[in-house]
Each structure stands twice: as structure tokens, then as C-alpha cells.
Amino acid sequence: MSDTVGSNRMTADEEIAWARAFISRVVEEAPRRMATSADERRAQEITREEMEKCGLVTEFRPFRWNRSLYANLALHFGLGALGSLAAVKSPALGLALHGAALVSFAADTSRKAFLLRRLFPFAESQNLVGRVPSKEAPRLRIVFLAHADAAFTGLLFQPEFVKRVASKPGSPLYKSLRIATLALLGLCAIDGLELATGKSTALQVARGVLTLPSFLAGALNLDVVVRNQIVPGAADDLSGVAGLLLLARRLAGRVPDDVELVYVATGCEESGLGGAQALADQMRGEWSPDNTVIVGMDGLANGDLSYYEEGEVFPVPIPEWLRGALEKAAASDADLASVRGFNIPVGGTDAVPFAVAGYPAVTIGCVDLKMGIPRHYHVPTDTPENLEADQIPRSLTMVERLVGEIISDRTGQALHLQP
């Protein structure tokens, strides 16, 4: 890789070239970056080299997490489908299985507790944390997150499947995991009615209909598990990791003395936001939600620049003051005027564990608004060659403008102008 991040701001063309070189290096040296793997760690080690060239103070913070989100989903919804089979003979057993799947998944997706997930082995992973310490006691801390691991793939993510089967934004079927969760609740109600009133044809038909979402969710996620194929992850999310490093360069020496900047390359995002969850738990006593703001950068290319509205089952709202900062940032530059909120259909980003823990948090990324997912999302074609790297500088400008609005809102100070 050629020139590294240094003390002077690059031009947009230089940022694009640097990002391409960095991302290509990581993909070449760490091609199979599944959660908890040696390649995930290698990607973070390469990132650490670049952080230290930026003058950041770095550390690895270890944690333990599962390897596969999709095994966890297949277990939950497979158990829901199994409960319906069991309920044919024993409504009580059906209720127990449906209830276990419902309670465990609701707790898991809301970050309240991890129950059935614990049936899978936990392994070592780590978050890479780079800091620019404030010169004074920090009045404000801004934490930037991007993930180093890459996703598994399967039928669920194939472009033809998405185009033909997956619902588009605005469709009543858009939040498919919310529908599957509500279907589990309905199955529990049917089991309870059968226990109270006896079996009936109507209840059995209703059970069959409500079992379909669990069956499909279980089967599609099991397909991902069986394939065991990791994508290159150039856009998702090496573009975000490159963005951390380029943003550190852009912001160097420009924030007020009492503002601390923290850049984190998380692990285990693709296996259920494990790194962000661990970091939120570890830093609870050190990072107060009163003076800490979380900004995720997840996919800075291959779509239309957006900020994400999150919550696959339960909504995770953006605080009104932070939403206002996003709107002001978008309005501050004609090139950013099209940036809007995008409601993620399923899954979530590293901002979610922090938001649930009470921190102001939002993630910025790119998504193809016609498809409802980024281009090349979770498929083998998410390569450096297919990375629309020319979008990265614009995405970083949005983050940079957002940082200025956050500092202004929270401290009344301003981001220093570029020399």
C-alpha cells in the first residue's frame, strides 16, 4: 500500500486511492474474516498499524462471543416450527417450545438477555480502540464505530432472491423478523386456546399459517449456516474501517481541547453486534451517556447515503436532538441534500447496543433505496473491484459535518476550520 494517513488532509482522489489500497490489502491478507477468527484479528492488526501512523493511542479490548448469527436465528425459528409439530400431539409442549423461542428471541434482539444463544460456543474476539485524548477533562466524547469482520452468505442475500421474494420499503412484509416474532406470539395464543377449549379445525389451520414465517426464517438461516461461506466484505464494512482512518486524518487538530475522539474497529458485528455489545458493557462506568455520542459507519459506498432508523422487532429511536444534528449536517452542503433516514428491514448496526444502553447513537451508511439493501450486500461480489469507492469522500463529509453539529449542540463550540 502506498502513502499512509498522515498529518495533512488528502484530496478526494487521494482518499479514494488510499481507501482502495487499504481495503485490497486487508482482503488479500485476511480474506476469511468471520467473527472470532484469526483473519478478523489480522484485519484489526493492519488497522492498528494505520491508527498508530495517525497518532492514535490504541489498545485491544478482548471479549467472548458466538461465531454465527445465522445459527442463532435458525435455532430460534427452527424451534418455533418444531413447536407447531409438537403441538399436534401436545399443545402444552407446543406452548413451551413456542414460548421459549419467543421469549429468547425478543430478549436477544432487544439486547436485554442472551438465552438460547448460549447453547452455541463462545470464543475469543476483540475490539480495536484508538483514541485521540482530549487536552482537558472531556466535556464531550464522540465514538466512531466500524466493523472489521465480514458476513456469511446464502440464498437469503442473492440478488435474484431479494428482487423476487424480499419485500421492498413500505411493504407490509418489510420487517420480516418482526412478522416472524409476532407469529410466534400468535402460536402461543393458539396453544393456550387449545389447552383451554380443546382442538378445532380453525385453530389447526391458523397454526399452520402462523408457522410459515418460522419455517421460512429457520430454513433460510440454516442455508447460510450450511454454506459456511464468507464474503470479501469490501463495502461491508472495510469501507467503514477505511473511513475511520481517513476521518481521523480529517479531524486531526480540529476539535476543541475538551472533546475526545475514539475510533473503534469492532469485532463480531456480523454475528449479532457482539463487539459493540461488549464495548457498551465494558465502558458503562467510564463513558457516560450524558457526554458520549456514538456514530457508526457501516458501508460508506455502494448505495444512497443515509442514516439508519433501527430496530428489527422493537424500534430503537434516534434522539430528537441528534436527528436535528443529522438534518442540519445534510442541509449544510448541497451535495448532501439527498441524505435521509432509512428504516433497516432486518438486522442492525453497532449503534444498537449503545442506543439500548441509553447512549445517543446513529449509524451512517449507503443503501440502494430501490432494493432496500446496499449493492453487493453479503454476497461474494462484495470485492474491492466492485467497491464504489468514489462515494467514500462524500460519506465522510457527511460524518464530518455531523461531528461539527454534535460539538455545536453539546458544547456550544465549533469544529475548527481547515487551514
* Pairing, β 259-266 against β 123-132: antiparallel
202, 226, 250 - which closes a domain: 226
Q: Is 140 part of a structural domain of the chain?
A: yes
Q: Cell numbers at residue 104, please?
A: 429468547
Task: Please check whether residues 363 and 215 belong to one and the same domain.
Answer: no
Mean pLDDT by 10 residues, the chain (419 residues): 53 97 98 98 98 96 97 98 97 98 97 96 98 91 98 93 72 84 98 95 96 96 97 98 98 94 98 98 96 98 97 95 98 96 93 98 95 94 98 98 97 80
The CA distance from 73 to 78, in Å, is 8
Q: What is the pLDDT of residue 8?
A: 63
**Secondary structure E strands in 328-390:** 340-343, 361-367
The CA distance from 328 to 341, in Å, is 13
Q: What is the pLDDT of residue 417?
A: 67
CB 258 within 8 A of CB 137: yes
Q: What is the pLDDT of residue 119?
A: 96
Taking only Cα atoms into account, the Rg of the chain, rounded to an integer number of angstroms, comes to 22
Q: What is the pLDDT of residue 2?
A: 37
Task: Please check whether residues 220 and 234 belong to one and the same domain.
Answer: no
Q: What is the pLDDT of residue 65?
A: 98
The CA distance from 53 to 43, in Å, is 16
For residue range 335-367, list pLDDT tens digits in order.
999 999 999 988 899 999 999 999 999 999 999
HSE-CB of 106 using CA atoms within 13 angstroms: 13
Task: Please check whether residues 388 and 253 belong to one and the same domain.
Answer: yes
Q: Is 418 part of a structural domain of the chain?
A: no
Task: Please check whether residues 19 and 54 belong to one and the same domain.
Answer: yes
Task: Please check whether residues 237 and 282 belong to one and the same domain.
Answer: yes
Q: What is the pLDDT of residue 3?
A: 43
Task: Please check whether residues 388 and 298 belong to one and the same domain.
Answer: yes
Q: Is 127 part of a structural domain of the chain?
A: yes
Alpha carbon 174 to its chain's center: 18
Q: Which residues touch 385 (CB under 8 Å, ≥6 apart)?
A: none
For residue range 95-122, list pLDDT tens digits in order.
999 999 999 999 999 999 999 999 999 9
Q: What is the pLDDT of residue 418?
A: 61
Sequence-ordered alpha helix ranges (H) in 314-381: 320-331, 351-356
The CA distance from 363 to 352, in Å, is 9
Q: What is the pLDDT of residue 4?
A: 42
Q: What is the pLDDT of residue 5?
A: 44
Q: What is the pLDDT of residue 161?
A: 85
Could you tell me the strand order of the sheet in which 57-65 lies? 57-65, 123-132, 259-266, 140-147, 292-297, 361-367, 304-309, 340-343
77: containing domain: 71-117+163-226
Task: Please check whether residues 190 and 128 belong to one and the same domain.
Answer: no
Helix 392-411 to helix 12-29 angle (10° resolution) is: 110
Task: Please check whether residues 299 and 393 belong to one and the same domain.
Answer: yes
For residue range 161-171, list pLDDT tens digits in order.
887 776 666 67
SS3 412: coil
**DSSP character string of 251-298:** HTTTS-TTEEEEEEEES-STTTSHHHHHHHHHTTTTS-TTTEEEEEE-
Task: Please check whether residues 326 and 198 belong to one and the same domain.
Answer: no
305 sits in the region (left: phi over 0; alpha: psi -120 to 50; else beta) called beta
Q: What is the pLDDT of residue 166?
A: 67
Task: Please check whether residues 146 and 196 belong to one and the same domain.
Answer: no
Find the CATH number of the domain harbouring 395. 3.40.630.10
Four-CA torsion 317, 319, 322, 326, nearest 10 degrees: 30
Q: Is 416 part of a structural domain of the chain?
A: no
SS3 112: coil
If one counts the domains in the chain, the total is: 2
188, 204, 226 - which closes a domain: 226
Task: Please check whether residues 132 and 212 belong to one and the same domain.
Answer: no
